């Protein structure tokens, strides 16, 4: 018995040491962030905190999204599966419709003793899509913050909207408010709180994912971040035309920007308005950077920096006037290229840069290897490669090409990016395939489709593309599984959508007047309002309204 007790104590000590030695993971996801960052060589961007992270780890010069749209890119990050394999290219369909048994990145960490938490935007929620409860140890936390501070920028309903139609406010805002007035300031504050709590659970390693919403449209940021820039010094895109010889499906207009108030001119912006949008994007980038800085400061203050792998990842790029586009959702370089930085204590050397190709689906296997977590037996299988060889030796490479995709006009455009070229094949049932080829050594601004004047390269890259699986057609949507979504419903109604429809001024709250308007049961509705109003302030928050549907 005494021998057994000594063995048990020894084993317990070994387990404690093993747990203590495991690295934590901090995943920082940033919405619509392109490499408009000081560390990436942008001479204008004020991004001292992302630059600080780059000085601690390895910066990937040639990292690419697997699709330049929020939901598919985030599916790729968290499942390790490309959009073409899932057959999901839109915002509405949840990835578990295509892969119900997939083991997600945070889910695999949970299975191996980690506590996984998410704050802000990780999966795309909205448009009928929802979070994935299996991926987190505790429910996702999303801020309850208004999108605008100034009344003139808030959305205004005219009563002529179609049922369920979303009404947007202005495309940008500069308001003299505190950082935590907007969502990203609240996300930073909550992430710091989670790190402080994690510090007290030293026997449990953490996987904390913080998803910042800016610089996604609308370009809103506190005024002090706008004041960092002189708009006269901002350079507009040099080449604002479609590439010569571009096939029709490859090019799309600026529908997202056009949906914002007063932006009916999205396809013909004046130079002054282009500069204002560019100013807004830079301000929003600096605002997000400052929030990231608060999280990095907390890591340092809590003594967690040396025990934490930090990843900064942008879900996709964004066109800022190049090709005349103010959008994402293309296969062009400015939409597909992303910022990607990994700081892995004991593995990466400070201030490194690499030319090695990388793609979003590589994040999953890379973090597994860095943390010593085995790969899951998941269906479909992981499609990325571990980048640890590159982290150890920035001159190494693991890819000859990476793959991304965009659908348009009934076509699916699969693109491979090599160190020097991008080749795109557009396929549509019953139609002849269309092709694009861009040569970044000779034509970095994509002024011309070179498919006709480089036949040997086309033949070589056609062969390389054929080695990848064919892209599946877009999967039809299905009703979400009970309990799986993050937006409660009542009587088959989407409470989140109901809230948006009633929130006439877009301030993120319902006054009594907004709640009672057009209620079918005017006699009993006031009592229901009082019941829903948990804090008794006479106003319903989004959380109060949605939880009332449970």
Query: Does 392 score more than 50 pLDDT?
Result: yes
Among candidates 168, 105, 324, which has minimal Cα distance to 236? 324
Burial of residue 322 (number of CB atoms within 10 Å: 0-12, 13-18, 19+) = buried
Looking at 466, 499, 518, which one is the last position of a domain? 466
Among candidates 293, 146, 314, 285, which has minimal Cα distance to 225? 285
**Is residue 313 located within the same domain as residue 433?**
no
Mean pLDDT value across the chain: 90
Structure tokens at 35: 């490499």
> Cα separation of 372 and 366, whole Å?
10
312 in any annotated domain: yes
User: Which regions of 474-541 does DSSP assign to beta strands (E)?
Assistant: 489-490, 493-494, 509-510, 540-541
Greatest alpha-carbon span in the chain: 84
Query: What is the number of domains present in the chain?
Result: 3
Q: Which residue has the tokens 């990607």?
A: 340
**Mean pLDDT throughout 494-510?**
66
**Mean pLDDT throughout 438-450?**
98
Query: Does 494 score more than 70 pLDDT?
Result: no
Higher-confidence residue of 114 and 17: namely 114
Q: Among the options 124, 130, 216, 316, which is catalytic? A: 124
Query: Does 99 score more than 70 pLDDT?
Result: yes
**Is residue 260 located within the same domain as residue 335?**
yes
> Cα separation of 317 and 69, whole Å?
9
> Cα separation of 230 and 249, whole Å?
37
Phi, psi torsion values for 252, nearest 5 degrees: -140, 160
CATH number, domain of 515, equals 1.10.238.10
**Is residue 299 located within the same domain as residue 416?**
no
Q: Among the options 70, 316, 421, 450, which is catalytic? A: 70
Looking at 380, 397, 414, which one is the last position of a domain? 397
**Is residue 441 located within the same domain as residue 519?**
no
> Cα separation of 386 and 371, whole Å?
12
Among candidates 119, 183, 191, 175, which has minimal Cα distance to 145? 183
- Per-residue pLDDT at 549: 57
> Cα separation of 468 and 278, whole Å?
37
Answer yes or no: are the C-beta atoms of 69 and 91 closer than 8 Å. Answer: yes
Q: Which residue has the tokens 């030293």?
A: 202
- Per-residue pLDDT at 166: 76
Known catalytic residue at 319: no
Answer yes or no: are the C-beta atoms of 488 and 495 closer than 8 Å. Answer: yes
65 in any annotated domain: yes
28 in any annotated domain: yes
**Is residue 229 located within the same domain as residue 373?**
yes
**Is residue 271 located within the same domain as residue 229?**
yes
Residue % of the chain over a pLDDT of 90: 78
- Per-residue pLDDT at 505: 61
> Cα separation of 281 and 215, whole Å?
6
**Is residue 185 located within the same domain as residue 216?**
yes
**Is residue 496 located within the same domain as residue 428?**
no
**Is residue 421 located within the same domain as residue 537?**
no
CATH number, domain of 215, equals 3.40.720.10
pLDDT digits over 130-150, tens only?
A: 999 999 999 999 998 999 999
> Cα separation of 403 and 202, whole Å?
39
**Is residue 212 located within the same domain as residue 247?**
yes
Q: What is the CA radius of gyration of the chain?
A: 24
Query: Does 109 score more than 70 pLDDT?
Result: yes
| Structural domain boundaries, residue 426 | 406-466
**Is residue 297 located within the same domain as residue 414?**
no
pTM of the model: 0.85
DSSP string, 298-353: HHHHTT-GGGEEEEEEES----SSGGG-----SSSHHHHEE-EEEE-TTTSPTTEE
Where residue 507 falls among pLDDT bands split at 50, 70, 90?
low
> Cα separation of 28 and 298, whole Å?
14
Query: Does 215 score more than 90 pLDDT?
Result: yes
> Cα separation of 153 and 151, whole Å?
5
4 in any annotated domain: no
**Mean pLDDT throughout 458-465?**
98
431 in any annotated domain: yes
Known catalytic residue at 70: yes
471 in any annotated domain: no
The set of residues, in sequence order, having a beta carbon less than 8 Å from that of 285 and lying 6+ positions away, is 33, 36, 37, 45, 47, 214, 215
**Is residue 326 located within the same domain as residue 393?**
yes
Query: Does 509 score more than 50 pLDDT?
Result: yes
Query: Does 164 score more than 90 pLDDT?
Result: no
475 in any annotated domain: no
> Which of these ranges, 110-124, 259-273, 523-537, has the smallest mean pLDDT?
523-537
Looking at 397, 420, 439, which one is the last position of a domain? 397
> Cα separation of 289 and 191, whole Å?
14
Where residue 3 falls among pLDDT bands split at 50, 70, 90?
very low
Question: Strand 509-510 and strand 493-494: pairing?
Answer: unpaired
3 in any annotated domain: no
- Would you give the distance in Å from CA 368 to the centre of its chain? 20
Among candidates 169, 189, 170, 171, which has minimal Cα distance to 179? 189
- Per-residue pLDDT at 163: 72
- Per-residue pLDDT at 504: 62
pLDDT digits over 53-71, tens only?
A: 999 999 999 999 999 999 9
- Per-residue pLDDT at 19: 44
Where residue 420 falls among pLDDT bands split at 50, 70, 90?
very high
pLDDT digits over 250-306, tens only?
A: 998 899 999 999 899 999 999 999 999 999 999 999 999 999 999 999 999 999 999
Structure tokens at 170: 């202005």
């Amino acid at each position: 018995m005494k021998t057994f007790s000594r063995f048990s104590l020894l084993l317990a000590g070994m387990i404690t040491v093993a747990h203590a030695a495991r690295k934590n993971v901090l995943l920082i996801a940033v919405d619509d962030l392109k490499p408009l960052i000081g560390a990436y060589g942008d001479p204008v961007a004020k991004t001292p905190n992302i630059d600080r992270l780059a000085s601690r780890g390895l910066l990937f010069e040639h990292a690419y999204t697997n699709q330049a749209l929020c939901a598919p890119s985030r599916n790729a990050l968290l499942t390790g599966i490309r959009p073409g394999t899932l057959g999901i290219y839109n915002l509405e369909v949840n990835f578990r419709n295509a892969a119900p048994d997939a083991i997600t990145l945070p889910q695999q960490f949970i299975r191996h003793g980690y506590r996984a938490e998410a704050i802000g935007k990780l999966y795309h929620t909205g448009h009928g899509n929802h979070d994935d409860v299996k991926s987190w140890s505790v429910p996702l936390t999303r801020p309850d913050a208004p999108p605008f501070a100034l009344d003139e920028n808030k959305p205004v309903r005219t009563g002529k909207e179609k049922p369920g139609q979303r009404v947007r406010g202005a495309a940008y805002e500069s308001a003299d408010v505190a950082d935590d007035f907007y969502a990203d300031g609240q996300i930073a504050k909550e992430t710091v709180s989670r790190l402080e709590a994690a510090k007290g659970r030293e026997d449990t390693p953490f996987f904390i994912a913080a998803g910042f919403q800016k610089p996604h449209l609308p370009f809103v940021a506190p005024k002090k971040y706008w004041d960092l820039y002189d708009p006269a010094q901002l350079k507009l895109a040099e080449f604002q035309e479609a590439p010569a010889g571009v096939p029709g499906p490859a090019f799309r207009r600026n529908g997202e920007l056009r949906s914002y108030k007063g932006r009916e001119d999205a396809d013909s912006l004046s130079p002054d308005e282009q500069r204002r949008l560019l100013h807004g994007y830079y301000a929003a980038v600096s605002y997000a950077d400052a929030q990231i800085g608060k999280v990095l400061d907390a890591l340092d203050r809590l003594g967690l920096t040396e025990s934490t792998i930090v990843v900064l990842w942008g879900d996709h790029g964004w066109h800022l006037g190049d090709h005349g586009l103010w959008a994402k959702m293309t296969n062009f370089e400015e939409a597909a290229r992303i910022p990607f930085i990994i700081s892995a204590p004991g593995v990466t050397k400070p201030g490194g840069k690499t030319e090695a190709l990388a793609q979003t689906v590589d994040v999953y296997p890379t973090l597994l290897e860095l943390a010593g977590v085995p790969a899951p037996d998941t269906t479909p299988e992981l499609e990325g490669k571990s980048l640890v060889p590159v982290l150890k030796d920035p001159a190494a490479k693991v890819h000859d090409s990476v793959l991304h995709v965009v659908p348009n006009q009934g076509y699916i455009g699969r693109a491979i990016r090599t160190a020097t070229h991008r080749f795109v094949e557009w396929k549509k049932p019953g139609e002849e395939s269309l092709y694009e080829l861009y040569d970044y050594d000779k034509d970095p601004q994509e002024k011309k489709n070179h498919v006709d004047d480089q036949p040997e390269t086309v033949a070589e890259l056609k062969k390389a593309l054929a080695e990848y699986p064919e892209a599946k057609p877009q999967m039809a949507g299905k009703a979400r599984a009970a309990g799986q979504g993050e937006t409660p419903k009542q009587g088959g109604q989407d409470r989140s959508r109901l809230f948006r429809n009633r929130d006439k001024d877009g301030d993120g709250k319902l006054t009594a007047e907004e709640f009672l308007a057009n209620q079918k049961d005017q006699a009993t509705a006031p009592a229901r309002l009082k019941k829903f109003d948990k804090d008794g302030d006479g106003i319903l928050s989004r959380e109060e309204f949605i939880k009332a549907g449970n």
